[in-house]
Amino acid sequence: MTKDNCLIVHAAGKQLDLLRGEASRIAKGSKVDWWIDRPDVGTRFCFEDAKAKEAFASACDSFGIPCRDG
Domains, the chain, ranges and CATH? 6-69 (3.30.70)
User: pLDDT digit of tens for each residue in the chain (70 aa)?
Assistant: 566 899 999 998 999 999 999 999 999 999 999 999 988 889 999 999 999 999 999 999 999 999 999 8
- Cα 59 to Cα 23: distance, rounded to the nearest angstrom: 9
Distances 3 to 37, 44, 70 between C-alpha atoms, Å: 10, 9, 7
Q: 3 with 69: CB under 8 angstroms?
A: no
For the chain, percent helix, then strand, then coil, each to nearest 5?
45, 25, 30
